[in-house]
Amino acid sequence: MRKKFVAGFLLLLVLFLAIPALADQVVLKNGDRLTGSITKSDGKQLVIKTDYAGDVTVKFDAIQSLTSAGDLNVTLGGKTVVGPVTTSGDDVIVATRTAGPVEAPKASVTLVRSPAEQAAYEKSLHPGWSEGWAGGLNLGFAVTRGNSETKNLNIAFNAARTGFHDKLILYTNSVYATNDLPTASPHTTANSTGGGARYDHDFSPSAFGFGNGDFLSNSLQDLSLRSTLGGGIGMHAIKNAATTLDLMVGANYTHESYSSFTIPPPPTGGTFVAARSDSLAGLTLGEAFTHKVGKGTVITQSFFIYPDLSDTSQYRGTFNFGTVTKLNKWLGWQNSFGDIYVSNPPPTTKKNDLQLATGLNISFKH
């Protein structure tokens, strides 16, 4: 009985001592040793998930040796191989199941992914239409009572689904404001709603095609609805992790309807202005810019101009500028400025509509 107990104890001890050997190990040049699961590397930094410190990131050139207990996907000089990984001096060795050991200099390693990271990467290349979305909801509200009685509400929503070769953007915004004093005229001081979508598809790393649709109504300009459908080609003038700048040129078809009104408004009477409807073909010329400032702020800016092809003296233009600063993972502070210009508005209405809004941003990612 005692011999069986001793034998069982020794077996458990051996199994216990063997557990670290089943984990990935990274030894640094300063002698530090990390044990866990190698997650990924871009050839410059390596991430290993440890039980005691979570994800630990180390410089790849600070690694003396590494050993993986299971398969890793390793890209060596443009070629990807799969298998357990070890190092020998300045070389890395991948024990593939089909081609046997593949040996190459550590300096040639450009990517390392665990099976889970590789599966997530491959899924990101072809996401479903319900996957890969990121965006936010902007909310701003103000009320005054006493010597002034006003209400102001602005709501904006944007979402983007980014694939490996394409991008879909959805957006909408609404501004509503009233002056509730009995002597105020007009009582409604702002009432506009707009929205649209744009789809981009890359033909090459620097060139893409796009299609877009934009819709806007503005009661104070007597604009019932303006619909713009178009498309064209674009160029990624700048495209990196922090900054993007897209330049676009194309054509569009616009249909707009203005409601009838009276100048001055009732009950004083005045001149009746009939409803108006226009359909026209135009050019689309524009740019869209985004830039990340540090880890918490994103700047967005866009400018588009739409010249009328039948009358080049007539055109529309839109300019938008905004910032979102993260307060935590899902909450941020947003500021936005917009200008919509129309060269031929109805009589007595202004050519420019400016909107400045600030408030909370509720972000999401799926």
Is residue 9 over pLDDT 60?
no
pLDDT digits (tens, 9 = 90+) for 57-90: 999 989 999 999 999 999 987 889 999 999 988 8
Q: Judge whether 273 and 263 are in contact, CB under 8 Å.
A: yes
The pLDDT of residue 366 is 67
* 356 or 230, higher pLDDT: 230
Q: Phi/psi class of residue 348: alpha, beta or left (left: φ > 0; alpha: ψ in -120 to 50)?
A: left
Is residue 117 over pLDDT 60?
yes
The domain limits of the chain are: 2-115, 133-365
CB atoms within 10 A of CB 97: 9
Residues 6+ apart with CB under 8 A from 276: 257, 258, 346
Mean per-residue pLDDT for 337-346? 89
Q: What residue spans of the chain are helical by DSSP H?
A: 2-18, 115-125
Least confident of 75-84, 127-136, 142-151: 127-136
Residues 6+ apart with CB under 8 A from 24: 35, 36, 37, 38, 48, 66, 67, 68, 69, 70
pLDDT digits (tens, 9 = 90+) for 155-206: 999 999 887 788 999 999 999 999 888 887 778 888 999 999 999 999 998 9
Is residue 98 over pLDDT 50?
yes
Pick the CATH number of 133-365 from 2.40.230, 2.40.30, 2.30.30, 3.30.9: 2.40.230
Mean per-residue pLDDT for 235-252? 94
The pLDDT of residue 71 is 93
pLDDT digits (tens, 9 = 90+) for 269-326: 667 767 788 899 999 999 999 999 988 899 999 999 999 998 888 899 999 999 999 9
pLDDT tier at 17, thresholds 50, 70, 90 = very low
pTM of the shown model: 0.69
Mean per-residue pLDDT for 254-273? 73
Using alpha carbons, select from 111, 55, 116 the residue that is nearest to residue 85.
Answer: 111
The pLDDT of residue 261 is 66
The pLDDT of residue 200 is 96
Mean per-residue pLDDT for 4-12? 49
pLDDT > 70: what percent of the chain?
90
Q: What are phi and psi of 116, to 5 degrees?
A: -65, -45
